[in-house]
Structure 1
Amino acid sequence: MDMRELPRRIHRWSLARQMLVLQTVVVGVTVAGSALLAFSQAGDLLGDEASRRAEAVAVSVADSPSVLAGLGDSAVLQPYAERVRLETGVDFITIMSPSGIRYTHPNPAQIGGHFLGNTTRALKGETFTETYTGTLGPSVRAVAPVRDSDGTVKGLVSAGITIDQIGVRTRGQIAGVALIGLLGLSVGGIGTYLVGTRLRRQTHGMGPAELSRMYEYHDAILHAVREGLLLVDDAGRVTLCNDGAGELLGLYGDVSGRHVTELGLAPSLAELLTSGETRTDEIHMTGERTLVVNVAMVRSGNRSLGIAVTLRDHTELQSLTGQLNAERGFADSLRATAHESANRLHTVITLVELGRTEQAMAFATAEIKAAQQLTDRVVGAVREPVLAALLLGKNAEAGERGVELVISPDTELDDIDLDDRDLVTILGNLIDNAVDAAMAGAPPARVEVSLRADETTFLISVADSGQGLDPATASKAFQQGWTTKGDGRGLGLAMVGQAVNRLGGVIDVGNGPGAVFTVRLPLPREARVS
């Protein structure tokens, strides 16, 4: 194999395979290094032990009274020295004269010969150790003086262990070290294999380049999509939140690891995210947005990964839908008015055909006068064209349902620089809610609307003749799903509250005798009445 191809081949390996090879090399080098270190330390320790044992044996023999008494007599000292040598495990014990003439030796043929080694320090009364090559080969030996009661050196004792014997013992230690090293290598190899297998399963056999590319795509897509995406685990903690979700929910900074109840979400949305239930295209309202929420369970095999939540901004569409409904209602009202006008025109024509001209003129004049008075009252008091058209349309709708819609005498409104769609949402839903409440109350059903603006504030007041709201009910009226009908689908007042929040206003609910909704919206500085 071309060695230049090796780095490229390794680069194409999966991450798990690379980690397996790397960990195997690390474990092998570690075990080999530990074995060499243990071998080196074992040799040093055995050498030190041999030196200490040789010194202890030499001093013990030199201090023996029988040795002092038997100096010069090999027949007495040789058996004694051999017995001690065998009992202590040293390789030789040599008892000699101060001049170095041997009295004992493991090889009897060496008795009477001259000791090979240094004796100068021992002749001065000092015990010392050294490594020296004698008749038995290189050895670690100790030399101790034999002194009489006056301290005079009468002889010398040398005890030693050959280097070969130390080597034999060291090689015996190597077998144990090697066995332990192989055991460590086996355990390390098995652990490395298990880790590699787990890593391969978690990375799906992909290499570093593939993982890096996948992360880059994943990160780019999460930041690019406008829709919000949340991943919430089974414990209710956020594991992923993209930029879209952060913007739609008003979340800033890294929220990973935080529980959904700690994010300051709308109660209905927080409850949904902790319920673990699958939902499709469910409407939820935050402080300023209307969101379409989808919740799906996420699983990997038999393991639950929590839920995936997608969020779409429905605010603009909801506003446009509200405005379209208002305009559609106005168109329906115009059709109803045209139908009613046709009926009245037929009545006038019939009266003329019957020769009752004066009655026909009186009937037509009265109808024209009533319609014109209402139009003149609305257009004269409300010079904001969108709101004027809305009031005329709502008046026709209320009339069809048997409810009288009254424009209060104090209504006076010029053009104001506020979002038309939010104004239509607020006023239209308040009137619709008031008409429903008035119809549920005692007759006559009546709704009164007041619109006026001062230098800083635009005020909207809608009162009905219904049964009113108790304070506990009033505090819940602007929550999503609340309705007096009890069907859990109330959205109109929630949209009113949301639009009021967007415009920076406040809304109050009172009774007098029916419910009275009062909205105060701050006017932009350039739009304030001078």
Structure 2
Amino acid sequence: MAAQSVAVQLLLLQVVVVAAVVLVGGALALADARGDQRREAETATLLVAHTVATTPEVVDAVAAPDPTAVLQPYALAVQQQTGTDFVVIMTTDGRRWTHPDPTQIGLTFRGTIAGAQQGRDVTEEYVGTLGPSVRSVVPVRSGGRVVALVGVGITTDRLSRSFWPNLVPIGLAALAVLAVGTAGAGLVSRRVRRQTGGLPERDLSRMLDYHDAVLHSVREGIVLVGLDHRVRLVNDEARRLLGADPPVGEPVGPELPQALAATMASPRDVRDEWHLVGDRILVVNHTTARWRGRALGTVTTLRDRTELQAATRELDSVRSLADALHAQVHESGNRMHTVVSLMELGRTDEAIGFATGELDRGGRLDAQILEHVGDPVVAALLLGLTAKASERGVTLRLAPASSVGAHELDDHDLLTLVGNLVDNAVDAAATRGPEGRTPEVTVDLTTAGRALRLVVEDSGPGVAPADRERIVRRGWSTKSTDSVAGRGLGLALVLQTVRRLGGTLDIDASALGGARFTVSVGGGR
């Protein structure tokens, strides 16, 4: 048998509950109606009994030689007029003077009369000669003493016959409530069916289990934000990558970087946008989450690209160095051909002068770098950047005061600072330098222990004072807008590294005509 959907189960459950409520309510209504009827019968019999007991002719007839002759016709008339089943007038010891059945006259009354003998009213349900009845017995007083008793009763058969007609409105009301409840249950079931897709409970439970398992096992961070800009879901990987735990149900933002929080709260779609969060480089994708055409909020996925970005930058450096070496090989080949040609022409002295001049120009900067930079990693980076700058027509100079000896700084941090600043400076000098200005970049680098001072100047267009605050934000770049994804991370990475090391980054104008970036860490200020 196919499993029933949650909507059908809910409908059946609601119908059963409504039916049970209607049945219980109907039973309580019937019980209440029977109670009301019995109380009305008690009130009616007590009222009739008091009326008879206070009638003067009854009081006078009690003292007559033959009370039955006077009281029997009277009692029958009262019984007929009031709709009661019996009106019994009796002696104080319970011997009847009247009764609907004349054969019972003179016999003892069946019921409780002790209270009435003492002057109190008695009301009870008792089985008498006419069957079960609701009856009231009251005293007849004359001269301040009890001289007789009056009993008035209505049989339960009469009460039952008059009660059953009351079932019709109660039954109709119960049916109306049942119909309304069933209709309401049907509407709720229909809504639940739409929201659950008509899936059975087992499938929904399995789906939730899979949903939870996937969210906690995927290697991408996932953050769901509702239309009210409040966080609705954060998986474990997102908490790890963000280094924070955005509280579910609270507005997105306070514990996240401003740029990332703005992206998460934005309705626009974002594809492969790079963000800096702590020490991590995250690739962010952001889109609107929809269900059957209805927007539910936004979903943001986070991927860690820190290590990949570092490897990419190292690969770019190696590629740049390889391209530069390839260009130098080509250039050296041309120079060699020139030297050989001069020698074949017999112009040996000119060939020797040309060759030694080229060697002197090519090795002067390399020797300077190797002399002042003792760290082989930094030296290799500067040599590669020098070759790259030369290929682009930019002269890269190392300040004579530069000194990179033994230090305690992490090579990765040094590569981040030097590589990004020099690379950006070369770009600025090569692509944005004013006409007539020689494209050049100078680097002044000094390290000692955990102290660092790095000054990079270029001959580019410089940085306007208004741009110096936003130049280090993610996305600002010296490159053209059609560059690769991750554009603008370089300067932001520099600022991130400087802040982590407890240093400062200053930006001002350079004597070369462009910008000057000064990084100071520790005692290197």
TM over 0.5: yes
Identity over aligned residues, as a percent?
45
1:360 matched to 2:348: no
CA–CA distance in structure 2, aligned partners of residues 329 and 137 of structure 1:
118
Aligned match for 2:244, one of 248, 251, 272: 251
| Residue of structure 2 equivalent to 1:280 | 271
1:217 matched to 2:215: no
Aligned match for 1:511, one of 509, 512, 515: 509
CA–CA distance in structure 1, aligned partners of residues 460 and 271 of structure 2:
36
What's the TM-score, normalizing by structure 2? Answer: 0.85
CA–CA distance in structure 2, aligned partners of residues 222 and 98 of structure 1:
91
Contact 1:74/1:104 (8 A) holds in 2: yes
- Cα gap change, 1:315 to 1:121, in 2 (>3 Å): closer
CA–CA distance in structure 1, aligned partners of residues 213 and 503 of structure 2:
39
CA–CA distance in structure 1, aligned partners of residues 321 and 503 of structure 2:
27
Contact 1:323/1:425 (8 A) holds in 2: no
CA–CA distance in structure 1, aligned partners of residues 118 and 228 of structure 2:
84
Amino acid at match of 2:387: A
Q: Secondary structure at the match of 1:261?
A: coil
How many aligned positions are there? 512
Q: Secondary structure at the match of 1:230?
A: strand
Deviations 1:204-251 (A, max 9, x none): 333333333222222222222112223333333333322222222333
How far off is 1:354 after superposition? 4.7
How far off is 1:66 after superposition? 4.1
| Residue of structure 2 equivalent to 1:33 | 24
Q: Secondary structure at the match of 1:90?
A: coil
What's the TM-score, normalizing by structure 1? Answer: 0.84
Q: What does 1:93-112 correspond to in 2, within 5 Å?
A: 93-98=87-92, 100=94, 102-106=96-100
**RMSD (CA atoms):** 3.4
Contact 2:244/2:255 (8 A) holds in 1: yes
| Residue of structure 2 equivalent to 1:54 | 45
Aligned match for 1:394, one of 385, 393, 416: 385
| Residue of structure 2 equivalent to 1:6 | none
Aligned match for 1:293, one of 284, 289, 296: 284
| Residue of structure 1 equivalent to 2:262 | 271
- Cα gap change, 1:87 to 1:499, in 2 (>3 Å): farther
Unpaired runs of 5+ in structure 2? none
- Cα gap change, 1:96 to 1:461, in 2 (>3 Å): same
CA–CA distance in structure 2, aligned partners of residues 522 and 478 of structure 1:
21
1:138 matched to 2:129: no
Contact 1:289/1:498 (8 A) holds in 2: no
Contact 1:505/1:522 (8 A) holds in 2: yes
Amino acid at match of 1:153: V
CA–CA distance in structure 1, aligned partners of residues 124 and 510 of structure 2:
117
Contact 1:351/1:357 (8 A) holds in 2: yes
CA–CA distance in structure 1, aligned partners of residues 411 and 81 of structure 2:
113
Moved more, 342-351 or 161-170: 342-351
Aligned match for 1:199, one of 173, 192, 208: 192
Moved more, 319-328 or 502-511: 502-511
- Cα gap change, 1:300 to 1:115, in 2 (>3 Å): same
Q: Secondary structure at the match of 1:410?
A: coil
CA–CA distance in structure 1, aligned partners of residues 228 and 328 of structure 2:
59
Amino acid at match of 1:450: D
Q: Secondary structure at the match of 1:493?
A: helix
How far off is 1:321 after superposition? 1.9
Contact 1:461/1:517 (8 A) holds in 2: yes
How far off is 1:430 after superposition? 0.9
| Residue of structure 1 equivalent to 2:329 | 338
| Residue of structure 1 equivalent to 2:447 | 453
Amino acid at match of 1:295: H
Moved more, 175-184 or 55-64: 175-184
How far off is 1:520 after superposition? 4.1
How far off is 1:168 after superposition? 2.6
Q: Secondary structure at the match of 1:271?
A: helix
| Residue of structure 1 equivalent to 2:115 | 121
- Cα gap change, 1:75 to 1:274, in 2 (>3 Å): same
CA–CA distance in structure 2, aligned partners of residues 265 and 166 of structure 1:
82
Contact 1:39/1:174 (8 A) holds in 2: yes
1:306 matched to 2:297: yes
How far off is 1:160 after superposition? 1.6
1:24 matched to 2:15: yes
Aligned match for 1:320, one of 290, 311, 315: 311
CA–CA distance in structure 1, aligned partners of residues 450 and 79 of structure 2:
116
Unpaired runs of 5+ in structure 1? 1-8
Contact 1:62/1:144 (8 A) holds in 2: yes
Moved more, 483-492 or 465-474: 483-492
Amino acid at match of 1:186: A
| Residue of structure 2 equivalent to 1:431 | 422
